């Protein structure tokens, strides 16, 4: 599969560990997010 959706956050964490090392994952903000999400949506 090119795209996969996990059934829960816990499953996603476990599944990410099957394919990636911790140093291969990163978090980032896209510039467009400021234009498409308001503060309530961001949580």
Concerning whether 22 is annotated as a catalytic residue, the answer is no
Residue-wise DSSP of 1-43: ------SSHHHHHHHHHHH--GGG------TTHHHH--HHHH-
The pLDDT value recorded for residue 9 is 94
Residues 1-43: pLDDT tens digits?
A: 568 889 999 999 999 999 999 999 998 888 888 888 676 766 6
The pLDDT value recorded for residue 42 is 62
Alpha-carbon distance values, 26 to 1, 10, 31, 40 (Å): 21, 18, 16, 23
The pLDDT value recorded for residue 7 is 94
Alpha-carbon distance values, 6 to 13, 20, 31, 36 (Å): 9, 15, 26, 24
Selecting among 1, 2, 3, 4, the annotated active-site residue is 4
Per domain, the residue ranges of the chain are 9-42
Residues 23-33: pLDDT tens digits?
A: 999 988 888 88
Cα–Cα–Cα angle for 31, 34, 37, nearest 5°? 130
The pLDDT value recorded for residue 16 is 93
């Amino acid at each position: 599969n090119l795209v996969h959706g996990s059934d829960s956050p816990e499953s996603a964490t476990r599944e990410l560990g099957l394919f990636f090392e911790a140093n291969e994952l990163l978090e980032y903000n896209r510039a467009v997010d400021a234009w498409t999400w308001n503060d309530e949506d961001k949580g």
